Structures are given as structure tokens and as C-alpha cells.
Amino acid sequence: MTASPSLLATLPGHSYTSPEVFAREQENIFESLWFCAVRSAELDAPGAFRTVPVGRESVLITRNGEGEPRAFLNVCRHRGARLCTEESGAVRRTLRCPYHAWSYDLDGALVAAPNLARMPDVDRAAYGLRAVALREWLGYVWVCLADDPPSFEDQAPGAAVERLGDAAAIERYGASELALGRRVRYDVRANWKLIVENFMECYHCAAIHPELVSVLPEFARGFAAQYYVGHGAAFADGARGFTVDGGEGFGRLPGLADDQDRRYYAITVRPQVFVNLVPDHVIVHRMFPAAPDRTVVECDWLYAPEVIASGADVSRSVELFHRVNVQDFAACERTQPGMASRAYRSGGVLVPSEHHIGGFHSWVTALLDGA
Ligand code: FES
Ligand code: FE
């Protein structure tokens, strides 16, 4: 059965279940484009590190002696052991492989190995850690595994400009200066594309997000109003803040323009980042696709540093979008088994309010076909 000509079809079911499709996505998307890896502030001193799965690789991100962020493939150049097995930690001056004790400095250079002086053939310069391209934006370290990375400006800040219609608009939130108020990690049993599609549409909002639509009433109409350029969804008259009960939030972030007050903006930075902007905080979701039917999502709630320093209770503020996440991810998990059904062999339907998701499908398909 196919959709009627006026309706767009989704991707076919196997796009969401096939290990072969997933492997091509890992190679052509997550290992080829810029990938938002870690909050810069987590690397709080030289030698602090975090390891992050990027596509099929593990990437090690640290700070060198000068405090500059550095990213490397987390693979020892001797016999290929994983250099750091912990998700996060700190070293003093060197990264030491636990297998045969080759040691690398924080710029990735091979600086020591047992008996190195008696191994003149081992060229230290040639056997440093493999560096990974890196940029910082919104207070996050973004990495790219491609030999020749695509334009960061086009992919990341470009997505914000496309959505907000103004290059300065996102900078006014000062996201790189904000402090982490809460982080929740969700282990979602669903394909990453289902999560992106869900985030991009609002057709489901009235059905599954009662708390969100009471703060943002236009979402109840089912149109993804957040995808009209420059449009922010207005808070309900009765909502004092972006909180689970519409109660008072925190003070407006200092850089915001008046037309950004009492409004909600959502940006998708393809392939794996969602940013939500409200007057008193910023929410950043990073997805880590782990399998065709599994995606880990790390969600950060960021507030003005003085709000966090004051010990203010951010629970009611966090709870609103945490509930949205739980509701959305439950919907995605309910959808995933259907992707393997013969009923979905040729996909489903995009109703008119979801047509922009067709653009996402074309984008994915073009990248996979470009293999
Ligand atoms: Fe790392 Fe041998 S594999 S030192
Ligand atoms: Fe939703």
C-alpha cells in the first residue's frame, strides 16, 4: 500500500532496523559530519578527559597543558589497545596505555615507552595519537572524524541561523557561559531517526504532552510552528515561566532581546543535536546512536551561573522537559517494533504538518547514496 499522491511517505521500515543501513549511517553521517561530543566545562583542567562514542569509534577528549581542548582516537598506536577505558577521569601529564605502558602527552605525542631508547626504528613523531578535528560552540566540544571536515559554520551555527533567521539570536543566550543544572541520560530503545522525526514534529503534542501544551498552547494545534523561520512559540498568558506547573522560573538571561522573552525556540542541528531555548535556560540534547534500535540521549539543562551558585532548586524547571523527553521516548519505543512489521515495509505517511520531515529523509538518503 502506498500513500496517496498528496501525502509523503516516510522512509521504509528497514531504514530503522537494518544493521547495514545503520553501518552506512555511522560511516557517512556520524563519522563524516561534526558531532557534538562533550560539554567543554566538564574538561575542567589539563588532563581531565572524557571518552565518547562517535560512530563506531571511541574519541578521547582532553585539555593539554595550556588548557586547550584536544581530541584523539582512543586507540594506542602500539598494538591498538583502547587507551582510556573509563568514560571520564583525569591524568596528570600523560595518557598511559595500560597494555605495554606507551605514554602520550596531552598533545598526543608519544613521549615514553619501555625500552624506547633501544628501539631506534620507532619514530616517536610518527606514532603519536591520531588527532581528531575539534571546534567549540555553545559551550560544547564538537569533533569530526573526516579527513577533510565539512564546514562547521554551515552545519552547526548555520542550522541556528536557518531556524532563527538571525546569526546573533542564539548567541544572546550565552550558552557557553551557562552552568549545568541537571543532566539526564536516557537509554532509548529506538532508532535515532525516529527520535529526530519526533523532535521535528508537533502533531503528537496534544496527544502526549499535556504539561507542554499548557505552557505553549499553540503546540496543541499540531503544527510545527517552531519550524517557521524566526518564530518562537509564545508562552500561555497564565504561564509565569517554562516550568512543569507554569510557575515562576528564573530571571531572563541578560543578553536576550525583548522579542525572545516568553518564547520557546527549538533547533535541530543535524544529525544528533536538539537545542531548546527559553528565556531563563537552554536545553541541549545530544544523541549517541548505539545500534539500529538503540540510542543513548544525554540531555543537559543549562542555567545562568548565579542561579546554580545560589543553590536554587531547578527541579520544577527541569521537570517540564524531562516529562516531554520521557513521553517522546516512550512514543519512539512504541514505534520501533512496528518498523520491522510487514505493515510498514513501504513506510508510513507524513501528514501535511509533518512535511518538513521529508526534508530530513531526503538529507539522510542523499548522504547514504553518496557512499
Ligand atoms: Fe598500548 Fe601496547 S597496545 S602500549
Ligand atoms: Fe514531543
Which DSSP letter does residue 75 get? B
Phi, psi of 140 (to 5 degrees): -120, 150
pLDDT at 328: 98
Across the chain, where does the E strand assignment appear? 8-9, 35-39, 48-54, 57-63, 69-73, 88-90, 94-96, 103-105, 110-112, 133-137, 140-144, 179-188, 233-234, 263-269, 273-278, 281-291, 294-303, 349-350
pLDDT at 227: 61
- Neighbouring residues of the ion ligand 2, judged by CB less than 5 Å: 328
- Indicate if ipTM > 0.95: yes
Q: What is the position in ligand 1's atom list of the atom closest to the CA of 80?
A: 3
Question: Which residues form the pocket of ligand 1, taking CB atoms under 6 Å from any ligand atom?
Answer: 76, 78-79, 81, 97, 99-102
Is the model's pLDDT at 243 over the cut of 70?
Answer: yes
Q: Give CA 368 to chain center in angstroms.
A: 20
In the predicted model, what is the mean pLDDT of residues 90-102?
Answer: 96
CA 36 to ligand 2 centroid distance, Å? 22
- Which residue minimizes the CA distance to atom 3 of ligand 1? 79
Share of residues in the chain with pLDDT > 70 (%):
97
Contact 195/188 with Cβ under 8 angstroms? yes
pLDDT at 355: 85
Is the model's pLDDT at 74 over the cut of 80?
Answer: yes
CA 283 to ligand 2 centroid distance, Å? 14
pLDDT at 229: 77
Ligand nearest to the CA of 324: 2
Ligand nearest to the CA of 103: 1
| CA neighbor of 54 nearest in space, from 71, 67, 41 | 71
Q: What is the Cα–Cα distance from 22 to 321, expressed in whole angstroms? A: 28
Q: Is the pTM of this model over 0.90?
A: yes
In the predicted model, what is the mean pLDDT of residues 62-81?
Answer: 98
Is the model's pLDDT at 50 over the cut of 60?
Answer: yes
Contact 366/237 with Cβ under 8 angstroms? no
Q: What is the Cα–Cα distance from 223 to 203, expressed in whole angstroms? A: 6
Q: What is the Cα–Cα distance from 268 to 352, expressed in whole angstroms? A: 19
Share of residues in the chain with pLDDT > 90 (%):
86
In the predicted model, what is the mean pLDDT of residues 61-89?
Answer: 97
C-alpha cell at 344: 510498514
Q: What is the position in ligand 1's atom list of the atom closest to the CA of 81?
A: 3
Q: Helix (H, G, I), strand (E, B), or coil: what is residue 297?
A: strand
Whole-number average pLDDT of the chain: 94
Neighbours of 169 (CB within 10 A): 21
Q: What is the position in ligand 1's atom list of the atom closest to the CA of 102?
A: 4
Q: What's the chain's length in residues? A: 371
pLDDT at 5: 57
